[in-house]
Amino acid sequence: MPKSSLFFRNAAEVLTLSGRGFPRRRRDLAELGIVRAGGVLTRGERILRVGPSRSLEREATRLKTREIDCRGQVLMPGFVDCHTHLVFAGNRAQDFEARLEGKSYLEIARAGGGIQYTARLTRQASEAELVAQAEAFLQQFAAHGTTTVEVKSGYGLDVRTELKILRVVRRLGRQTQLDLVPTLLAAHALPPGFERRRGAYIARLVRELIPQTAGQNLAGFVDCFLDRGAFTVAECRAVLAAGRRHGLIPRVHAEQLSRTGAIQLAVELGAASADHLDFANAADVRRLADSNVVAVLLPGSNFFLGSRQLPPARRLIDAGAVVALATDFNPGTSPALNMQFMLTLATCQLRMTPAEAVCAATLNAAHALRRADQVGSLEPGKLADLILMDVCDYREIPYFFASNHCAMTIKRGRVIHSRKSL
Ligand code: NIG
Ligand code: FE
């Protein structure tokens, strides 16, 4: 069968984010490589050419492409959501209300709500039930312009259920059109009954779960929640180092609720990312700037928890750290899957510019997942993962906030969501 081909023509702006493949730091973070009156030509699942629309016309005719008129719209890479906890049962609307009545996230967790509550429901749920709920969310991710989604386990907290969640991710990956990137996050919370023998849980992860996860090829990354009320530096070092020995690349929930030295550990282990960073100090900013660890900021969780302490986005960017953005989609701290809203929060609350936020949510996020050779920018040879936004200037995406500007989502060269009838 001949490869199908699409010609996106005459976009007001094409945000190419083209470059030399490096993660973007400092001023480069705001370089979007804009082509006005631009076009993109795809062939099969890849991008064939990007440039001024007129310069692509002849080849488009030769290839007998289907044409998509993009006048008055912005064409850009699909969002890469590099931090989510997509697979869980039920939700936590009741915790939400308890917080509004004055209880803190930690108090709710200690009273049996929080992660433990979701873990109880997730243990009881069947694989089919978990697939169904997550699949419905993934359709929403696609409709809002996200084309690659990292997915953490972490609501199992025992070997059997953590593996069940990772199998659910594998099934979802086969049946949805989005690319999913699985991460083992068994060190998310201590399961009940282990309070006096924390070491036993860690040992089980190191000796059983990590080897089985790697052996069944169920994840490429290993994560841990290093914080007060979660796990210590020593415990996380043991888990991440074991992951690394089995070929799982570390990432860390770092300095979210308190400062614990998580960033130092992430840098020491060469983690792919350190995420959250609300309590990062000046030395941590330096450490990240001097490393290749991607600083993943999650402004949805700051917004939803009403945090007073925000991650030092400006200082990280100015010092030269690689900054990315993600939703942290999860039932407790960020039940939001719209990356466009994350751009609004990144600009209004973290003081990033719209251009920085776009780059952090696409190319740098792809680096956080070690997928920047495939996604995150519009360049020949990369996957044809692109979105068409109903705005004629990219700055309007965060500016007209809390609405969905995504008119069309293309994944691997196929239209998977469209507001227009084609
Ligand atoms: O990234 N920090 C830990 N994990 C999640 C929250 C999980 C939950 O509350 O269910 C986070 O914020
Ligand atoms: Fe998280």
Give me the residues paired with residue 253 across strands: 225, 275
Atom 11 in ligand 1: which residue has the minimum CA distance?
Answer: 333
**Ligand 1 centroid – CA 193 distance (Å):** 21
Q: Is the pLDDT of residue 109 over 90?
A: no
Query: Vertex 227, ends 141 and 231: CA angle to 5°?
Result: 100
Answer yes or no: is pLDDT of 45 > 60: yes
Distance 224 CA to ligand 2 centre (A): 9
For the chain, the average pLDDT equals 97
- Looking at residue 105, its pLDDT comes to 84
The pLDDT, as a whole number, for residue 1 is: 58
Q: Is 212 helix (H, G, I), strand (E, B) or coil?
A: helix
State the distance from the centre of ligand 1 to the C-alpha of 239, rounded, in angstroms.
18
Token pair recorded at residue 135:
């699949």
Which residues does ligand 1 sit against, CB inside 6 Å?
Answer: 85, 114-115, 118, 225, 253, 256, 301, 328, 330-333
CA 336 to ligand 1 center in whole angstroms: 13
Atom of ligand 1 nearest to the CA of 185: 4
- Work out which ligand 1 atom sits closest to the CA atom of 328: 1
pTM tops 0.85, yes or no: yes
CB 317 within 8 A of CB 352: yes
Q: Which ligand is nearest to the CA of 256?
A: 1
Q: Which ligand is nearest to the CA of 333?
A: 1
Structure confidence at residue 132 (pLDDT): 98
Length of the chain: 422
Q: Ligand 1 pocket: which of 104, 115, 297 to mutate (most atoms <8 Å of CB)?
A: 115
- Considering the chain, what percentage of its residues have pLDDT values greater than 90? 95
Strands 406-411 and 386-389, sheet pairing:
antiparallel
Pairing of strands 146-152, 66-69: unpaired
pLDDT tens, 288-342? 999 999 999 999 999 999 999 999 999 999 999 999 999 999 999 999 999 999 9
pLDDT in tens, 238-274: 999 999 999 999 999 999 999 999 999 999 999 999 9
Cα gap 37→53, rounded to integer Å: 6
Task: Say which residues have a Cβ less than 8 Å from residue 111's Cβ, sequence separation at least 6.
Answer: 103
Q: Give tens-digit pLDDT for 389-408.
A: 999 999 999 999 999 999 99
> Who's near 417: CB < 8 A, 6+ residues apart?
142, 143, 406, 408, 409
Binning pLDDT at 50, 70 and 90, where does residue 421 land?
A: low
- What is the mean pLDDT of the segment spanning 142-165? 98
What's residue 106's pLDDT?
Answer: 85
